[in-house]
Amino acid sequence: MSSQVTNENRDECTYALRIPYDRDVDTVQLALVVVLVIACSLQLVLLAQSRGRRAGQLQSSLLGIQARLDEQARRQGDESRALREELDRRLARSSELSAQSLADISGRLALIDRARQGLRDLSAEVVSLRRVLSDRSARGAFGEVQLGALVQDVLPPGSYRMQCALANGKRADCVLLLPPPTGMVAIDSKFPLENYRRGCNPSLDIDARQRSAAAFGRDLRKHVEDVARKYIVAGHTCDYAVLFVPSEAVFAEIHVSHPAVVELAQKRRVMLTSPTTLMAVLTTAVSILKDAALQEHARDIQEHLRKLADDFKRFEDRSAKLATHFRQADRDLRGLTTSARKIATRFRRIDRLDLGEPGGSRQGLAGLKRRKAGRS
């Protein structure tokens, strides 16, 4: 019974003690909750501030990145624009060069076409020339036509005759009518070509070509002799004649391979000429004609010179008279200048006279009289 009371008392005491303890625990717990709430609030505030700063930094970084991106985009735009402009210029230049190259190519192709056409025409002319030169009568006509063209281009009309008959009955292809002492100069335009053509034929062997070359030399010597015999007529023509070879190749072959023929022509006073050298001969003939015309009109020229000398003498006399008049006018002008200066001096002296007072005027007149007496 006593133990049961004791246990009940103990429980009551314990309960009495637990009530304040529980109250303290609730207070502490409440305080801890408040502290935790405050701490969480502070943490949230700090976290918000930190996030704000980070957001500001992030925004600044984003703005910087955006600025750099804008700058990079601007530079890239400028570079791309410059590159595009450079590409446009290069494309335009390339287009111009291409167009110019195409124009040049077109021009050159046109030149090539014209040259090709010229070669065709030249081939046809060479074939025609070969046919002409293969026939003796046609060859003579060809040489005569070429000779006539050269003579007509250089000499004035009336200074030559084509197919002129000489005193010995022979007929020259052309005769130059030059003034004395040169007189008439006969020109022959025919030449032997058969053996020359055979000597240049590559299908023949060397011996045949050599025989043809020797025969060509003999033909030339005979032709030189014939020209000297037919066209050099004493007392009627000049003491030399001209043998016209209407081919530069044949002319060169004669001088290179047949020097004996050239020497014979010089001895027989036969002048070998090609189209080029005949042009020089005709030019010399023109100079002779001009000199003769000048000598013919020398008397008229002397008369004109005499009249010109008389005119110059009259011009000299009139110039001397005009110079005399100029000198007299200069002297008269100097005299007028002196008179004007004296008159001006007198006017200045009169202007300085004091005519207001009788005494002053007498003194002024007396001084003027003294000055006049001194000058006299």
CA–CA distance, 28 with 142 (Å, rounded to integer): 148
Which range of residues forms the domain containing residue 97? Answer: 92-134
SS3 271: strand
CA–CA distance, 118 with 208 (Å, rounded to integer): 35
CA neighbor of 271 nearest in space, from 257, 254, 286, 288: 254
Can you say whether the dihedral through the CA atoms of 347, 351, 357, 360 is positive or negative? Answer: negative
For the stretch 227-259, pLDDT in tens is: 999 999 888 888 889 999 888 888 888 888 889
Residues of the chain falling short of pLDDT 70 = 1-26, 51-52, 55, 122-142, 353-376
CA–CA distance, 208 with 194 (Å, rounded to integer): 13
The token pair at 239 is: 């003491």
Q: Write out the H or E segment, with its range, that includes residue 93.
A: helix 2-134
Q: Are residues 182 and 326 in the same domain?
A: no
Residue 60 lies in a domain: no
Residue 203 lies in a domain: yes
The token pair at 296 is: 């013919």
CA–CA distance, 108 with 102 (Å, rounded to integer): 10
How many structural domains compose the chain?
3
CA neighbor of 170 nearest in space, from 187, 148, 158: 187
Residue 1 lies in a domain: no
Residue 302 lies in a domain: no
Q: Are residues 243 and 182 in the same domain?
A: yes
- End-of-domain residue from the set 239, 269, 296: 296
Residue 37 lies in a domain: no
Can you say whether the dihedral through the CA atoms of 88, 89, 91, 92 is positive or negative? Answer: positive
For the stretch 317-366, pLDDT in tens is: 888 888 888 888 888 888 888 888 888 888 888 877 655 544 444 455 45
Q: Are residues 231 and 188 in the same domain?
A: yes
Q: Are residues 159 and 211 in the same domain?
A: yes
Q: Are residues 202 and 312 in the same domain?
A: no
Q: Are residues 127 and 200 in the same domain?
A: no
Q: Are residues 163 and 231 in the same domain?
A: yes
Q: Are residues 286 and 234 in the same domain?
A: yes
